[in-house]
Structure 1
Amino acid sequence: MTLNNMSSQSKKKITTSKPSKISKVARYLKTKMCLRE
């Protein structure tokens, strides 16, 4: 539950962030997902 809440919050932040920040967060999230798998 907490992970889902955190990811949804990050997505909300991403939409209101600058492109450079978006790519950084997206890369971070991708790495997180890969590590989880």
Structure 2
Amino acid sequence: WAPSSSRKRRPRPTMSPATAPPPPPCLPRRWSTRACAT
């Protein structure tokens, strides 16, 4: 996390799913259920 001195500043707004870039292409579920985890 940022130093305590940065606390005074407003925390960075969390990127909303709509604004965040699309996730990488996921592998078929049959291949791996965790393919899309990240």
TM-score (norm. length: structure 1): 0.22
Structure with more of its chain in helix, by fraction: 1
TM-score (norm. length: structure 2): 0.22
Q: Which has the higher contact order (CA 8 A, sep 6+)?
A: 2
